[in-house]
Amino acid sequence: MQQQHFIARQVALVLLGFLLVIITVGAATTISIRTLGDSYQRLEHLINESNSQSILMGDMRDAIRDRMLLVYDIIHAGDPFAVDDLVMTYSSSARRFIQARDQLLEHNLTDQQRAQIEAQKSILGQAQTILNEVVTSVQEERNDGSADRILEAREVNSQVLEQLGEMQRVQANLAQEDLAKASSEYGASRNQILILIFAAFAVSSAVVIFIVSRIVSQGRALQQALDALEEANETLEQRVEKRTNELMSTRADNMRMGAELDVSRQLQQMLLPRDEELAAITDLDIAGFMEPADEVGGDYYDVLHYHDHVIIGIGDVTGHGLESGVIMLMVQAAVRSLTEHDDEVNLIGALNSINTVVYQNCKRMGTDKNLTLALLHYNKGELEISGQHEELLLLRSGKVECVDTIDLGFPIGLESEIADFMHSYKTTLNHGDTAVVYTDGITEAESPSGELYDQQRLCTVLEQHHDRSSSEIVTAVIESVKAHMGDRPLLDDISLLVIQRR
């Protein structure tokens, strides 16, 4: 569409250009022809004028000469009839002279010429008088000194003849001047025509150059626009492709992350002890709670029951995602295999072995992950704990005792050898006493203003609910934590395990 408009504009421009050229050249030619015609007419008029003036002056001179000659003839004619004829011719030549002079006066003469002609009248009159006397005396057949009178008349006439000759020369000069003037005008006209033609040529060239350059520049602009459009298209294509790749990549990442989280969440949930397993432990009332954060963390807890032994594990793998889930799975399997046998349970030995397993496997996996892990062993009222984790809270007679675990172990999987740091703590769990373990998701839960829930709040809630069942205590603690968080999202998994001796 755009291109059609463009072509139509180009055609219109070319036509306009040609029209301008034709008009310019036509105008120049018309003006030139008219100027040349005027010059020619003026020249013709001048030549005609000059010619007729010369002829009339010549006629006048001829008439004067004829009269002079006729007077001679009249004097020497013997026959009186011949004298009469000659006298008639003499009179007619006088009329010819007057006729020629009158005609000359009608022409475009200079003031000087008119004054001269006027002055000639009296001289001619004088000569006329003399000649008339000579003719009259011849007619009366008197020959009284006619020859002398003729000489006198010739003298006078000669003056007029000279004047007329002079006038003719002046006239010729004037004609020459006019001719020169006309020639120069003609030259000027010619120059004017040349200039006009040159101007027409220049204007036409300018118009043609303008149109061509316009077309070229518009063509170039069009080409540039097309190039820019093409480039923009390419850029757009590249951008679309890049964005598509990004989206695909992001989508792929999200899908991968989503899939990983799903797997992790399932691993986490499927390995939790079932309610019937917990209910089968007659000596203890155990309730557990775990809520994964949106980005599932690495919380782990387990309760294993083997003969009279109850093994409880609680841990927190750093980070989140599939790797954390896999490490958790490793730990769960290792704890079960290392503690479920008939020999005496050795928590420290089990933790050392687990550390080695996790350390080596993390190295193989190329991950920096490690975990805090505490293992508890309950057997007939005796409770032993080993491993570094959050504090063990013992709720006895409505009061909380805090057991620090820092000196009981070391992060699992961080160092290859941790045996030096491993210790255990033993206590007796009396009937009605409650042991509580948890992950830092609880104590580090943030309120909307960023305040941490902390261990103090946890202890207060426990003391307030010391006479309740394990599940009631769990519910009370979780409600308190949720109330503290308000509308804040869960930043980390929260796990809580309450173990009450019946």
Partner 1 sequence: MLINGEGYSAEYIKESGTVRLAGVVRLSSTEEYGEIIKLMESALEEHQGTITMDLRELQMLNSSGITMLSKFVISCRNSNHSATIIASESVPWQGKSLKNLQRLMPALTIEMK
Residues engaged in binding partner 1 (CB under 8 A): 295, 316, 318-321, 367-370, 372, 388, 406-407, 410-411, 414-415, 421, 440, 444, 450, 452, 454-455, 491-492
Spatial contact of 118 and 66, defined as CB atoms under 8 Å apart: no
Spatial contact of 352 and 334, defined as CB atoms under 8 Å apart: no
Please name the residue that has the structure tokens 């150059």: 209
C-beta of 17 vs 387, nearer to partner 1: 387
Spatial contact of 346 and 375, defined as CB atoms under 8 Å apart: no
- Compute the CA torsion angle 321, 323, 324, 326 (nearest 10 deg): 120
C-beta of 168 vs 361, nearer to partner 1: 361
Angle at 423 between CA 421 and CA 427, to 5 degrees: 155
- Give 134's Cβ-side CA count (13 Å radius): 28
C-beta of 302 vs 323, nearer to partner 1: 323
The distance of closest approach from Cβ of residue 278 to partner 1 in the complex, given in angstroms and rounded to an integer, is: 27
Please name the residue that has the structure tokens 């007057």: 98
The distance of closest approach from Cβ of residue 403 to partner 1 in the complex, given in angstroms and rounded to an integer, is: 13
Spatial contact of 452 and 467, defined as CB atoms under 8 Å apart: no
C-beta of 286 vs 412, nearer to partner 1: 412
The distance of closest approach from Cβ of residue 434 to partner 1 in the complex, given in angstroms and rounded to an integer, is: 23
| Dist CA 465 CA 472 (whole Å) | 8
C-beta of 257 vs 476, nearer to partner 1: 257
Q: Are strands 382-386 and 392-396 parallel, antiparallel or unpaired?
A: unpaired
C-beta of 143 vs 456, nearer to partner 1: 456
The distance of closest approach from Cβ of residue 321 to partner 1 in the complex, given in angstroms and rounded to an integer, is: 7
The distance of closest approach from Cβ of residue 450 to partner 1 in the complex, given in angstroms and rounded to an integer, is: 7
The distance of closest approach from Cβ of residue 314 to partner 1 in the complex, given in angstroms and rounded to an integer, is: 14
The distance of closest approach from Cβ of residue 363 to partner 1 in the complex, given in angstroms and rounded to an integer, is: 13
Sequence-separated (6 or more) residues with CB below 8 Å from residue 444 = 452, 453, 491, 492
The per-residue DSSP string of 253-319 comes to HHHHHHHHHHHHHHHHHHTSPPHHHHHT-SSEEEEEEEE--SS--EEEEEEEEETTEEEEEEEEESS
C-beta of 316 vs 433, nearer to partner 1: 316
- Give 273's Cβ-side CA count (13 Å radius): 23
C-beta of 93 vs 370, nearer to partner 1: 370
Question: Closest Cα to residue 440, out of 454, 428, 430?
Answer: 454
C-beta of 302 vs 316, nearer to partner 1: 316
C-beta of 271 vs 452, nearer to partner 1: 452
Sequence-separated (6 or more) residues with CB below 8 Å from residue 239 = none
The distance of closest approach from Cβ of residue 486 to partner 1 in the complex, given in angstroms and rounded to an integer, is: 17
Rg (CA), the chain: 72
Q: Are strands 392-396 and 399-403 parallel, antiparallel or unpaired?
A: antiparallel
DSSP secondary structure letter of residue 420: G
* Cα–Cα distance list, 262 to 76, 292, 448 (Å): 165, 11, 28
C-beta of 17 vs 315, nearer to partner 1: 315
The distance of closest approach from Cβ of residue 319 to partner 1 in the complex, given in angstroms and rounded to an integer, is: 5
- Compute the CA torsion angle 399, 402, 403, 404 (nearest 10 deg): -170
The distance of closest approach from Cβ of residue 351 to partner 1 in the complex, given in angstroms and rounded to an integer, is: 15
The distance of closest approach from Cβ of residue 418 to partner 1 in the complex, given in angstroms and rounded to an integer, is: 9
H helical segments located in 77-141: 80-106, 111-139
The distance of closest approach from Cβ of residue 219 to partner 1 in the complex, given in angstroms and rounded to an integer, is: 54
In degrees and rounded to multiples of 5, residue 312 shows phi and psi of -120, 130
Q: Which helix (H) or strand (E) holds 140?
A: none
Spatial contact of 32 and 198, defined as CB atoms under 8 Å apart: no
Question: Closest Cα to residue 374, out of 290, 495, 250, 476?
Answer: 495
Q: Which helix (H) or strand (E) holds 435?
A: strand 434-438
C-beta of 17 vs 413, nearer to partner 1: 413
The distance of closest approach from Cβ of residue 499 to partner 1 in the complex, given in angstroms and rounded to an integer, is: 22
C-beta of 35 vs 439, nearer to partner 1: 439
